[in-house]
Amino acid sequence: MDFNDIQNAWNNEKTENVVLPDNLEKIQSANTPLDKIRKNLKNELIMQSVAVLLIGFTPSSYNFPEKWIMPFYLFFSIFVAVCVYYLVKLYVFYKRLNKITLKTKDSLYETYFDIRLNMELYKTFGFALTPFIVLFLIGFLYNHFSKTPGFEISNFSNSQMISVFVPVVFSILFMGLSLEWWVQYFYGKHAKEIRKVIDELKEE
């Protein structure tokens, strides 16, 4: 094979995966928001794990009656199982982010969509915990009212029902809104920076 054959073979090769220096610089600029996502996720994994452990001490912290301790830990065990399931998934995602090296468009695309997917997983995690939070709140309020002398659940007044119902409704709404804000603030805005880099590469 002479020089012309070699040159023709070279020219006929696909150049779709060739990354120009300018493009490489843009791709690697996405490392900054990616580092912020890694840092936020690491901090959250630690804080949420600690929070789950601290919730386990709620009965002793608030002097729950002995009859409530067993039901509490029954629900708490299910709560922990749900937390472990999602936290392990988020930890695996965190480990995956640590191994990523942004050098090609493909790696940038894959990383962006992986982040978006796990943002939705995070939201699902929050919504999965909402019923437990509501049950804990109802139990806490019921325990409070049950301390009233002569209290019976059949004698629950309308005002007491409202005082239980209103906090439950607001806690659900607050949970949903705060969860959306939390995900967007700690992850969404950094994901948008990565998306901006992707859009800039498309325009070239």
pLDDT tens digits, 87-100: 999 999 999 999 88
Provide the pLDDT for residue 4: 54
Tell whether 166 is covered by a domain.
yes
Distance CA 191, CA 65 (A): 47
Q: What is the mean pLDDT of the chain?
A: 81
User: Does the structure show a pLDDT above 70 at 7?
Assistant: no
Provide the pLDDT for residue 10: 44
Tell whether 9 is covered by a domain.
no
How much is the pTM?
0.78
Tell whether 59 is covered by a domain.
yes
Tell whether 172 is covered by a domain.
yes
Domain that holds residue 194: 22-203
Tell whether 10 is covered by a domain.
no
Provide the pLDDT for residue 38: 94
Tell whether 12 is covered by a domain.
no
Tell whether 7 is covered by a domain.
no
Provide the pLDDT for residue 203: 64
Can you tell me which residue has the tokens 């119902």?
165
In sequence order, the 6+-apart residues with CB closer than 8 A to the CB of 68 are: 59, 139, 143
Domains in the chain, number: 1
Tell whether 37 is covered by a domain.
yes
Provide the pLDDT for residue 120: 94
Confidence of residue 3 (pLDDT cuts 50, 70, 90): very low
